[in-house]
Amino acid sequence: MGNPAIFEKVISHCKEYGFVFPSSDIYGGLTAVYDYGQNGVELKNNLRSYWWKSMTQLNQNIVGIDASIFMHPKVWKASGHVDGFSDPMIDNKDSKKRYRADVLLEDHQEKIRLKIEKELEKAATRFGEGFDEIVFKQTNSRILEYQKQVDHIYTVMREGLEKGDLAMIKELIVAEGIVCPLSGSRNWTDVRQFNLMYSTQMSATDSGEDSLYLRPETAQGIFVNFLHVQKTSRLKLPFGIVQTGKAFRNEIVARQFIMRMKEFEQMEMQFFCKPGTELEFYEFWKAHRLKWHKTLGTPDSKYRFHEHVKLAHYANAAVDIEYDFPFGFKEVEGIHSRKDFDLSKHEEYSGKKMRYFDSETNESYIPCVVETSIGLDRLFLLAVCEAYSEEEVNGDTRTVLKLHPAIAPVKAAILPLIKKDGLPELAEKIYNDLRMDFNVYIEDKDSIGKRYRRMDAIGTPFCITVDHDSILQGDVTIRHRDSMEQQRVNIKDLSKILNDAVNMNCLLKQLL
Ligand code: ATP
């Protein structure tokens, strides 16, 4: 179940503790563009690194590349993005505000669903313990009417989008009496398609022919390098190529913080295999990717698969991994079996053979592709939403980010109890010994309690307190973030204690 109040807290927490800032904030920000702060960038790097290692280091047949953001304009013709990568938009003539037509309808559906929830809540209070929700849903006339309306919107919207019948979408918006959230009016324009790619020019003397697009996905960089990688790596099918990097989409409906941005980062893999075997690999990657997500400690109930019922013409299977965000279940990653569509299109548009020579069967063919595509920013949001918790401690509230130690931005804070008697010097020595292997932090300001709270808020798994006994006995107090338990340990054991908990291997070995 969603929890919008928590989401607002997560957003302000991210800003207050140096995870995510609105871009160009001093100028009023830029819609749907965000910057990562000092803690955010560490968390993001750790998530990327975990994904990268799990793909490349753990798999002998998967290698990485780093292709450029600018690509030949024909790439986007071949991929279908120039003609087909668009959203249906509608403008309100009074507010002059533009909306995604399908999102207006989805929001309207959501409002009706909320009415169903309200009816259920009221009934549950009225009937008490004996309340049977399932039977009530199937028999209550008001709920049945609401459900019919939700289903009707879904069916008509689907049909309109599939047929590309934009008039049908407009009629539905009008028939449902949907008003502009800003002006409150129903004065709508027609629905039009709006391409999501940003264009720019290669040279100052651009005649229009050499205009470029900022890539809307990283996948095409992999497809166009398929032969280079195959030949230079001598990999045999099946094999995968991964890449991470920025992608750009002119998302009109920018919502939900870093969930939907205009500039974001993707982590994608294209897995090339012999035609006929792709569905087997699709099933493999579907299961494997879900397993990967769960290694971060998120409970099973927070994930679900959303199978695509209506497939794109080039796909023979597609599924989203959805996470239960505070605003409901939403896609984090997509897994798609794309047959030989992409390589065939590049062969057609470039005139270059995109074939693989199979030495076992002595034939050349275009391989099929299974794609896994995850948004790093959405994964980041997932990690923070999942980790954010508020706990009552001695009548006080502590906010703690219970991130898996391997992805936490700072691994340990070294805190001298007071600023004299040689304690800062010993703390400095411990810091210097640890910093080559771990991102550690040293701080002597404020009370120990306040310093603990600050470290909890950024998800630091360990606080190491240096006191007078540390000088006499060579030991320190180590405090565990989640349990708040404190333990006396020898200074020379610190490195091992940290390593056992924060090393990326803790995650990687769960995948073997
Ligand atoms: P959605 O339906 O949510 O728009 P999509 O199906 O268009 O997503 P894909 O094109 O499959 O997304 O991209 C793969 C992944 O990239 C998504 O699962 C998501 O994690 C991420 N992603 C896509 N668009 C954005 C965006 N605008 N901002 C942040 N992440 C994004």
* First-last CA distance in the chain: 32
**pLDDT per residue as tens digits for the range 423-447:** 999 999 999 999 999 999 999 999 9
* CA nearest ligand 1 atom 24, residue: 260
Residue 309: pLDDT band (50, 70, 90) is confident
95 Cα–ligand 1 center, Å: 28
**Burial (0-12, 13-18, 19+ Cβ within 10 Å), 55:** buried
pLDDT at 203 over 90: no
Which residues are CB-contacts of 478 (< 8 A; sequence separation ≥ 6)?
462, 463, 464, 465, 486, 487, 488, 489, 494, 497
Distance of CA 215 to the CA centre of its chain: 18
- Per-residue CA distances from 297 to 2, 301, 397, 509 (Å): 19, 12, 23, 14
Q: Are 365 and 355 in contact (CB under 8 A)?
A: yes
From the CB of 54, is ligand 1 less than 6 Å away? no
**pLDDT per residue as tens digits for the range 231-275:** 999 999 999 999 999 999 998 776 789 999 999 999 999 999 999
From the CB of 261, is ligand 1 less than 6 Å away? yes
Q: Look at 128-142, 199-213, 303-317, 325-339 and tell me which has the smallest mean pLDDT.
A: 199-213
Residue 298: pLDDT band (50, 70, 90) is very high
* CA nearest ligand 1 atom 12, residue: 334
216 Cα–ligand 1 center, Å: 10
* CA nearest ligand 1 atom 16, residue: 375
Atom of ligand 1 nearest to the CA of 320: 18
User: What's the one-letter identity of residue 173?
Assistant: I
* CA nearest ligand 1 atom 20, residue: 375
Q: Are 71 and 221 in contact (CB under 8 A)?
A: yes
From the CB of 245, is ligand 1 less than 6 Å away? no
pLDDT score for 447: 93
Q: On the CB side of 350, how many CA atoms lie within 13 Å of its CA? A: 18
Q: Are 414 and 466 in contact (CB under 8 A)?
A: yes
Nearest 5 degrees, angle CA 127-CA 130-CA 133? 80
Pocket test for ligand 1, best of 102, 264, 336, 385 (most atoms within 8 A of CB): 264
Q: Is omega for the bond preceding 299 within 30 degrees of 0, making it cis? A: no
| Tokens at 288, concatenated | 């494997």
Rounded to whole angstroms, how far apart are CA atoms 480 and 455?
11
Task: For the chain, give the mean pLDDT.
Answer: 94
From the CB of 267, is ligand 1 less than 6 Å away? no
Three-state secondary-structure class, residue 146: helix
Mean pLDDT along residues 27-48: 96
- DSSP class of residue 287? H
Which phi and psi (to 5°) does residue 55 adopt?
-85, -50
Rounded to whole angstroms, how far apart are CA atoms 355 and 350?
13
Count helices and strands in the chain by DSSP H and E runs: 18, 23
pLDDT at 345 over 60: yes
309 Cα–ligand 1 center, Å: 18
Atom of ligand 1 nearest to the CA of 259: 29
Residue 5: pLDDT band (50, 70, 90) is confident
Which residues are CB-contacts of 497 (< 8 A; sequence separation ≥ 6)?
462, 478, 489
User: What's the one-letter identity of residue 222?
Assistant: I
Atom of ligand 1 nearest to the CA of 268: 14
406 Cα–ligand 1 center, Å: 25
Distance of CA 227 to the CA centre of its chain: 29
Rounded to whole angstroms, how far apart are CA atoms 5 and 26?
26
How would DSSP label each residue in 312-379?
PTT-SEEEEEEEEETTEEEEEEEEEE-TTHHHHHHHHHH-S---EEETTTTEEEPPEEEEEEEEHHHH
Atom of ligand 1 nearest to the CA of 336: 11
**Residue reference for tokens 């599939």:** 162
From the CB of 170, is ligand 1 less than 6 Å away? no
From the CB of 251, is ligand 1 less than 6 Å away? yes
**Burial (0-12, 13-18, 19+ Cβ within 10 Å), 184:** exposed
Atom of ligand 1 nearest to the CA of 375: 20
pLDDT score for 15: 97
pLDDT score for 208: 58
Rounded to whole angstroms, how far apart are CA atoms 241 and 271?
7
Q: Are 444 and 424 in contact (CB under 8 A)?
A: yes
Helix (H) or strand (E) holding 292: helix 278-294
Pocket test for ligand 1, best of 250, 251, 372, 378 (most atoms within 8 A of CB): 378
Q: Look at 53-62, 309-318, 319-328, 354-363 and tell me which has the smallest mean pLDDT.
A: 309-318
Atom of ligand 1 nearest to the CA of 216: 10
Pocket test for ligand 1, best of 373, 381, 385 (most atoms within 8 A of CB): 373
375 Cα–ligand 1 center, Å: 6
Rama region for 16: left / alpha / beta (φ>0; ψ in -120 to 50; rest)? alpha
- Per-residue CA distances from 269 to 221, 286, 311, 377 (Å): 11, 13, 20, 17
pLDDT score for 46: 98
Three-state secondary-structure class, residue 173: helix
From the CB of 325, is ligand 1 less than 6 Å away? no
From the CB of 265, is ligand 1 less than 6 Å away? no
Rounded to whole angstroms, how far apart are CA atoms 448 and 414?
11
Query: Who has greater pLDDT, 353 or 310?
Result: 353
Which phi and psi (to 5°) does residue 145 adopt?
-65, -45
Which residues are CB-contacts of 385 (< 8 A; sequence separation ≥ 6)?
6, 7, 10, 325, 326
264 Cα–ligand 1 center, Å: 9
pLDDT score for 210: 64
Helix (H) or strand (E) holding 241: strand 239-248
**pLDDT per residue as tens digits for the range 60-83:** 999 999 999 999 999 999 999 998
| Tokens at 20, concatenated | 């995510």
